[in-house]
Amino acid sequence: MIKEKKLVIFTGFVIGLAALVLVAFGNPANMGFCIACFIRDITGSLYLHTAPHLQYARPEIFGLILGSTLLALINKEFRATSGSAPVMRFVLGFFMMAGALVFLGCPLRMVLRLGGGDGKAIFALIGFAGGIALGSYFLNQGFTLGRSYKQKSIDGIIFPVVSILLLIFGFFKLIGVPSEEAHAPFFLSLVLALIVGGLAQRARFCMVGGIRDFILFRDNRLFLGSFTLFVTVLIGNIILGNFHFSFTLTSAIWYILSMALVGLCGALLGGCPLRQLILTGEGNGDSAITVLGMVAGAAVSHNFSTASSPTLVKTGGKIEVIVGLVIVSIIAFVIVKKQNKEVM
Amino acid sequence: MEVDARGLVCPQPVILTKKALKNKPEQLDVLVDNIAALENVTRYATAMKYDVTKTPDGDEYILNLRKR
């Protein structure tokens, strides 16, 4: 029990450290890791959107998936499974990405932004916790996406293999656009992501799980990981002179609502964007579909200009967040209703 | 009593276990098929003062929860 807690705390510490290093070596500010932003950049590198400077095949994402695959293989935990409501997962992944691109960060980056002194991220955190609370309520009422089933091993291997191929294509600049966004050196990003992916697989690290497990079971194990991550980044940024406090009420409501959408989707999906990557690496096809939903969400967000710019939350993004909250709540409500009917 | 949590990902195995333990039964079997679920159910049951013994069954595990 204590060992499990130590592992998750250690993982939070290593993720924080890796994030600090990646920023020091060239990743954008407070973006050592951002699962949403990096998937968006990969989406751009494949020309599924053409937003300038957001078209780099980030090796971090592939490293996280492959790190998880490696550890899962070593520990004999690699299992190809799928069949748990794939279309619904795609939709939830889509809206999880849409919400994240209105706030401009996945839950992981939200904590990194907080640790960098970005006061606006406090609103995001409030919304995120609220979304998870709502999702936990649905879960307690019987919400389920249904069982997954064992598949042929090759089904689980496809995503890791595609990750290796895209890594190679990215390295040789066969994908992506030369005017690429600021980034840390390729191999540094890859190696750190492999380490983080492996650790996150072992520790079941999850930003959604931290708050969810506390609400549902008063279990603080995963929360300690997120908290350690925050403290590590906060102290690191202060030491490195990267802590710049800022605070404004502008768009606060949209930070709350967009991350509420992310929290709600994450709770219903059973994990934050990072956790979806890790599960994908373990052979979980349902999470792979979720990641593809996130790719679609990123493409739509940029092709239809709903993604925020660093200074502006766009009208399209606001509409998208509201629509997302309504659709996802309806989905959850309908499933809970149906589930309870079946039980009776 | 038995809870079949096979094919379910966290937190559902734990929610099902929590509901099954509501009336404090003397014992409960929980079927799981992934290690994360095994760890999570074990942690919850232990916190609820149940002893857990696990029996591997192919790719699956039977967790026997007994009141301490």
Q: Counting Cβ atoms within 10 Å, is residue A245 exposed (0-12), middle (13-18) or buried (19+)?
A: exposed
Spell out which residues of chain B touch residue A147, defining contact as CB-CB under 8 Å: 6-8
Confidence class for position A238, pLDDT limits 50, 70, 90: very high
Structure tokens at B24: 């404090």
Tell whether A149 is within 8 A of chain B (Cβ).
Answer: yes
Q: Are A344 and A338 a contacting pair, CB within 8 Å? A: no
Nearest to B63 by CA among B10, B1, B11, B15: B1
Count Cα neighbours of A88 within 13 Å in the Cβ-side half-sphere. 21
> Per-residue pLDDT for B58 more than 90?
no
User: Å from A147 to nearest chain B CA?
Assistant: 4
CB contact under 8 A, B43 and A219: yes
CB contact under 8 A, B9 and A148: yes
Q: Each residue of A90-124: pLDDT tens digit?
A: 999 999 999 999 999 999 999 999 999 999 999 99
Q: What's the rounded mean pLDDT across residues A245-263?
A: 96
Q: What's the rounded mean pLDDT across residues A184-208?
A: 97
DSSP string over A182-231 = P---HHHHHHHHHHHHHHHHHHT--HHHHHHHHHHH---HHHHHHHHHHH
Spell out which residues of chain A touch residue B18, defining contact as CB-CB under 8 Å: 216-217
Q: What is the residue whose two structure tokens read 């990646």?
A: A22
Percentage, residues of chain A above pLDDT 70: 99
User: Å from A224 to nearest chain B CA?
Assistant: 16
Please count the residue pairs, one from chain A and one from chain B, whose beta carbons lie less than 8 angstroms apart: 60
Neighbouring residues of A153: CB distance < 8 A, sequence distance ≥ 6: A78, A80, A283
**Summary mean pLDDT of chain A:** 96
Which residue in chain A has the smallest CA separation from B42? A1
Q: Are A2 and A80 a contacting pair, CB within 8 Å? A: no
pLDDT at A1: 63
User: Å from B11 to nearest chain A CA?
Assistant: 7
Q: Cis before residue B11, ω within 30 degrees of 0?
A: yes
CB contact under 8 A, A212 and B9: no
Nearest to A208 by CA among A297, A72, A111: A111
Q: How far apart are the C-alpha atoms of A36 and A96, rounded to whole Å?
A: 9
> Per-residue pLDDT for B64 more than 80?
yes
Spell out which residues of chain B touch residue A223, defining contact as CB-CB under 8 Å: none
Q: What's the rounded mean pLDDT across residues A256-276?
A: 98
Which residue in chain B has the smallest CA separation from A283? B34
Confidence class for position A180, pLDDT limits 50, 70, 90: low
Q: What's the rounded mean pLDDT across residues A172-200?
A: 93
Tell whether A139 is within 8 A of chain B (Cβ).
Answer: yes
Tell whether B47 is within 8 A of chain A (Cβ).
Answer: yes
> Per-residue pLDDT for A72 more than 80?
yes
Q: How far apart are the C-alpha atoms of A285 and A276, rounded to whole Å?
A: 10
Q: Sign of the C-alpha dihedral, residues A164, A277, B10, A142?
A: negative
> Per-residue pLDDT for A341 more than 90?
no
Percentage, residues of chain A above pLDDT 90: 94
Q: How far apart are the C-alpha atoms of A304 and A38, rounded to whole Å?
A: 19
pLDDT at A342: 78
pLDDT at A181: 74
pLDDT at A344: 60
Q: How far apart are the C-alpha atoms of A175 and B9, rounded to whole Å?
A: 34
Q: How far apart are the C-alpha atoms of A124 and A129, rounded to whole Å?
A: 9
Tell whether A275 is within 8 A of chain B (Cβ).
Answer: no
* DSSP structure class, residue A118: B
Distances (CA, A) of A112 to A23, A52, A116, A278, A311: 11, 24, 6, 19, 18
Q: Are A199 and A205 a contacting pair, CB within 8 Å? A: yes
Q: Each residue of A291-303: pLDDT tens digit?
A: 999 999 999 999 9
pLDDT at A81: 96
Neighbouring residues of B6: CB distance < 8 A, sequence distance ≥ 6: A147, B31, B32, B33, B60
E strand segments, chain A: 81-82, 149-150
Tell whether A152 is within 8 A of chain B (Cβ).
Answer: no
Q: Each residue of B21-52: pLDDT tens digit?
A: 999 999 999 999 999 999 999 999 999 999 99
Q: Looking at this predicted complex, what is its ipTM? A: 0.93
> Per-residue pLDDT for B59 more than 90?
no
Domains recognised in chain B with CATH numbers? 2-67 (3.30.110.40)
Q: What's the rounded mean pLDDT across residues A241-264?
A: 96
CB contact under 8 A, A204 and B10: yes
CB contact under 8 A, B43 and A147: no
Q: Which H helix or E strand runs over B42?
A: helix B35-47
CB contact under 8 A, A209 and B59: no
CB contact under 8 A, B36 and A1: no
Tell whether A77 is within 8 A of chain B (Cβ).
Answer: yes
